[in-house]
Amino acid sequence: MRRISQITLWVLLFTLSLSAASIRNQILLMEASENIRLNSQEIVKNYLYFYSNPKKRHYKKMALDGLEDLDKQFRLIAKSTKDEDSKDVLAFLDYSKEKMEEVFKDPFNKDNPPLMLDYSEILLEGAESISKNIAYTPSKEEKMLMRMKDISFLIERMTKYYMAIAEGGDVINYAEMMTDSMQEIEKELSTLAEYPYSEKNLANLRRLNDDWGVLKKFYLDYKTLKVPSIVLLASDGVKKDAHVLELYHSKNQ
């Protein structure tokens, strides 16, 4: 009888260990897919600014650093999932990243910006496809953390399309994408207002809303206000505001 109890206990501990490992892998997948979403927009935003300002080589370096970080996220996904569909998507994401690297090696030409925009959307769709296969229900704080990350993603996405419009790209299509993202970020900010923040974090949230209100005017006036350098500076400020609350929710999990 004692022998049976020991075996039962061992099986239970083994099962709990497997369950904990599975949950950890699901969280890693969720984080990696979120990072790819952000990188997919940030890389191209930096590339487009560099394309228009070749002397600003720092932005080329940031874009290349983002491509390098994609490799790290791809490795995390490869280690954390056995899902065949996700592995197939991952192989295509790696191919898209390699095509982006090829664009960086090419001399500047008018075909490069739209190519980079297309590849960024492929990376985005792939990351979102992988996240849909994640069988994990985030906690309330994890959802808030993801919401803050989504705000940073949307800021990068809008800035990417603002840069593309300023570069003379497909104005109608890019403006529509930018408008959709503006509507999404308004919804996210509205949800944040319902969270029971402390006075200190309420002040941080007010700053985020105020800075977003300033930045939004540039996106709305994209036809007349083509000031990429100012938009870059203002968007970085909004992302810093969001990052303060992101850190709070990260520590509060």
Examine the domain organization and report whether 143 and 87 are in the same domain: no
The last residue of one of the domains, among 74, 102, 137, is 137
Examine the domain organization and report whether 159 and 107 are in the same domain: no
Total number of domains constituting the chain: 2
Q: Decide: residue 49, CB within 10 A, 0-12 exposed, 13-18 middle, 19+ buried.
A: buried
Task: Tell me how far apart the alpha carbons of residues 202 and 191 are, in angstroms, rounded to a whole number.
Answer: 13
Encoded tokens for 45: 């935003």
Q: Are 141 and 196 in contact (CB under 8 A)?
A: no
Task: Tell me how far apart the alpha carbons of residues 173 and 210 are, in angstroms, rounded to a whole number.
Answer: 28
Look at residue 221 in the predicted model and tell me its pLDDT.
93
- Domain for residue 40, yes or no? yes
Expressed as residue numbers, the domain containing 200 is 139-253
Examine the domain organization and report whether 80 and 147 are in the same domain: no
132-175: per-residue pLDDT in tens?
877 667 788 888 888 999 999 999 999 999 999 988 767 788 99
Task: Tell me how far apart the alpha carbons of residues 147 and 144 are, in angstroms, rounded to a whole number.
Answer: 5
- Chain-wide mean pLDDT for the chain? 87
Task: Indicate which CATH number applies to the domain containing 94.
Answer: 1.20.1440
79-106: per-residue pLDDT in tens?
877 778 878 888 889 999 999 999 988 8
pLDDT band at 16 (very low <50, low <70, confident <90, very high): very low
Q: Are 211 and 234 in contact (CB under 8 A)?
A: yes
The last residue of one of the domains, among 111, 137, 163, is 137
Task: Tell me how far apart the alpha carbons of residues 253 and 147 are, in angstroms, rounded to a whole number.
Answer: 14
Examine the domain organization and report whether 187 and 120 are in the same domain: no
Examine the domain organization and report whether 131 and 236 are in the same domain: no
Task: Tell me how far apart the alpha carbons of residues 37 and 28 are, in angstroms, rounded to a whole number.
Answer: 14
Those residues whose C-beta lies under 8 Å from the C-beta of residue 201, and which sit 6 or more positions away, are 245, 248
Could you tell me which residue, 251 or 1, shows the higher pLDDT? 251
- Domain for residue 2, yes or no? no
